[in-house]
Amino acid sequence: MAVRGDIRNVAIVAHVDHGKTTLVNAMLAQSHVFNEREEVPDRVMDSNDLEREKGITILAKNTAVQYTGPLAAKYGHPEGITLNIIDTPGHADFGGEVERGISMVDGVVLLVDASEGPLPQTRFVLRKALEAKLPVILCVNKTDRPDARIEEVVGESSDLLLGLAQDVIEEGIDLDEDALFDLPVIYCAAKAGYASENQPENGGLPDNEDLEPLFEAIIKNIPAPEYEEGAPLQAHVANIDSSDFLGRLGLVRIYNGTLEKGKTYGLSRVDGSVENFRVSELLRTQGLERTPVDSAGPGDIVAVAGVNDIMIGETIVDPSDPRPLPLIHVDDPAISMTFGINDSPLAGTEGKDHKLTARMIKDRLDRELIGNVSIKVLPTERPDAWEVQGRGELALAVLAEQMRREGYELTVGRPQVVTKTIDGVINEPMENTTIDVPEEYMGTVTQLLADRKGRMENMTNHGTGWVRLQFTVPSRGLIGFRTALLSATRGTGIASSISAGYAPWAGQIVTRQNGSMVCDRKGIATPYAMQRLQARGNFFVEPQSPVYEGQVVGVNNKPDELDVNITLAKHMTNMRSSTADVLETLTPPIKMSLEESLDFANEDECVEALRNPSVCARLFSAVRIGTSGAPSSVDRTTLRITSDSSRCSVGFASTVVCLLTSPTVSPLSSPFDGSAE
């Protein structure tokens, strides 16, 4: 096998918020990618608006660093060594992006927080790397944290690596065990741009003021791309992008052969057919920019233009000798939501240029399938509603939020789990959850997860005042759990989880103790009515907001559902009142984001995602209006709408939440206590 020594392909993987994007930022800065006068943001790779707002990476992105330091000449390439770096998400819901990124590289840098240590997503990405037989470099980041425990974290990471390696070997995958014992370790403070091979003191910076040791570890331990001389072209499509001028771009990793601009090649489709196309443009990433090139060889990661419907997992091949590569495997979805049209009485009334029709929403979901391998879109019994399946509720909520920002108005049902029938028994997805909380909240969190059918597996106390709790919980129990955890721990709790396979149905889980206040007529919410009703609960709507029958306008203090007339106006008389000058204060309404609204909704309620940023979501439930029937949320819930005159729709907003319910709703018969399909 021939070797291309001037290239290294590496992915940065870690748990969420352990510093992947910050490290890539520092690597770019020290490679002189940025102009001296250029103002560089903290996380330049997080280019998406949602990524910047949430502070997380959602899409895996690649960049290229041209290393021209002293090591380049040492390894025989004084002109420089190209480091193709893949920045991956840390959240388990976007695990498909991680699997896609790993398929393009020859090794990984595993980042671990010097205080938190290995967490669930660390286990997930490390296992994927071992299954792909990729070498691992351990990088302990944030050594300057006051609560850093560097030596313990290195020990925990090594134990995790060896334990996972043993599991992978037992599954029949041959690994080099000797290489695992000789794990290269780099100590790093990404925000400062420091890295060293020498272990610093807890809470101290590394003794080297640049990232040179990290670059050396990558060049030394990550193998250069190997290829077979004279072999036909093999280029694997691992990602999809778009350009205003070139149309759809396929991001490919070339394994064998040479790809040249202007030539005709074959595209091996997912179904096995081969379609010829001409490469109209070839782009190589340099820093944050893509520059046109005439050709690319083995080991290169380039963008290809010329096929308008190129898909992830396909292979660009030699038409005379096609040798397609295996498709990218992605774990099955565990959570589903129903996306449907917004047919509420207020649809299309806020703003302009709305995208309301079923055709528009279906086209948008089909486009999402092109670049997102983690989701599935399935039809429902209704032509204007679709079941969208994904890894977790965050991934699906991000999709709904993105569509809302693009001008789509739609209804989204409460997240439901995707069940499987194994040996005649209904099984549901389980998750391993790790929670870090202060010691005083340990009992509260334990009770919280016990109510959600969680089973404690382990408890660790490092003597720092914090406790780490590990549970196995049904995925259903984690829907809306984040909000409950933050409330129970006064915002201090940190939770993360990864898939733990399937287990028999755990029974009914009741997560919401309060009922809803449902508007019983169409009109305008009046301060007079809200003052009379505010003792019953908290409102989601502002005074003078338009409301309609079935809209959830507030949360009831009691578990029952309450029909209210929020449009009642004060009767005018010619009599002087002794209390006329008494000022009654109105409690400010609860403002919820789209995600919070989805967590709040019951199984017979939907969320109405609106384009108007001031009213981004509205909540409603099965109600006595319209003739359209219940949207897709009832496809997986315990409710069946038995009356032709009932409908189900729920909308949530940053300022408005409305719910609808109907007395004509009857429980579905099910083998497991009527709590799910």
Place of tokens 């005649």: 424
Q: What's the burial of 410, exposed, middle or buried (CB within 10 Å: 0-12/13-18/19+)? A: buried
Six-digit token string for 603: 């199984």
Over range 110-122, report the average pLDDT: 83
Give the containing element (helix H, strand E) for 305: strand 301-305
Closest CA to 82 of 71, 67, 94: 67
Residue 614 DSSP SS3? helix
Closest CA to 538 of 562, 522, 567: 562
**349-356: long-range pairs with CB below 8 Å, 24+:** 349/546, 350/610, 350/611, 350/612, 350/615, 351/611, 351/612, 353/407, 354/407, 354/408, 354/409, 354/611, 355/406, 355/407, 355/408, 355/409, 356/408, 356/409
Q: Over the stretch 565-612, which tens digit does the pLDDT of each residue have? A: 988 888 777 776 665 545 567 888 888 878 788 878 877 788 887 766
Q: pLDDT value at position 658?
A: 35
User: 94: which DSSP letter?
Assistant: G
Give the chain's mean pLDDT.
77
| Model confidence pTM above 0.85 | no
Angle between helix 95-102 and 120-131 (nearest 10): 30
Q: Give how far Cα 28 sits from Cα of 52, 186, 265, Å.
A: 19, 18, 34
Q: Over the stretch 642-659, which tens digit does the pLDDT of each residue have? A: 222 223 333 333 223 333
Cα gap 479→77, rounded to integer Å: 52
Place of tokens 């929670």: 435
Over range 458-479, report the average pLDDT: 84
Cα gap 208→399, rounded to integer Å: 42
Range of weakest confidence among 19-23, 539-543, 550-554, 629-633: 629-633
Per the CB < 8 A criterion, the answer to whether 53 and 47 are in contact is no
In DSSP terms, 639 is beta-bridged to 667
Range of weakest confidence among 63-72, 113-122, 363-372, 662-671: 662-671
Place of tokens 């609808």: 660
**569-578: long-range pairs with CB below 8 Å, 24+:** 569/526, 569/528, 569/529, 570/526, 570/528
Over range 391-411, report the average pLDDT: 83
Q: Per-residue confidence at 55, pLDDT binned at 50, 70, 90?
A: low
CB atoms within 10 A of CB 405: 14
Q: Are strands 376-379 and 335-341 parallel, antiparallel or unpaired?
A: unpaired
Q: What's the burial of 97, exposed, middle or buried (CB within 10 Å: 0-12/13-18/19+)? A: buried
Percent of the chain residues topping a pLDDT of 70: 82
Closest CA to 597 of 585, 589, 609: 609
Cα gap 473→452, rounded to integer Å: 7
Per the CB < 8 A criterion, the answer to whether 61 and 97 are in contact is no
Per the CB < 8 A criterion, the answer to whether 480 and 412 are in contact is no
Q: pLDDT value at position 535?
A: 84
In DSSP terms, 607 is beta-bridged to 412, 619
Where would I find the beta strands (DSSP E) of 487-629? 494-504, 516-519, 523-524, 537-539, 546-547, 552-556, 562-564, 605-609, 617-621
Question: What residues have CB less than 8 Å from 16, skipping those under 6 apart?
Answer: 56, 89, 90, 91, 121, 496
CA atoms lying within 13 Å on the CB side of residue 117 = 20
Percent of the chain residues topping a pLDDT of 90: 0
Residue 332 DSSP SS3? coil
Q: pLDDT value at position 57?
A: 64
In 406-455, which ranges are continuous DSSP H helix?
A: 442-450
Q: Give how far Cα 228 sits from Cα of 91, 233, 254, 294, Å.
A: 37, 10, 12, 21
Q: pLDDT value at position 48?
A: 57
Give first-to-last CA distance, the chain, whole Å: 54
Cα gap 672→428, rounded to integer Å: 11
Q: pLDDT value at position 44?
A: 53
Q: pLDDT value at position 93?
A: 64
Q: Examine the pLDDT at 324 and tell me if it is beyond 80.
A: yes
Question: What residues have CB less than 8 Å from 282, skipping those under 6 apart?
Answer: 259, 260, 261, 292, 293, 294, 295, 296, 302, 303, 304, 305
Place of tokens 């449907």: 340
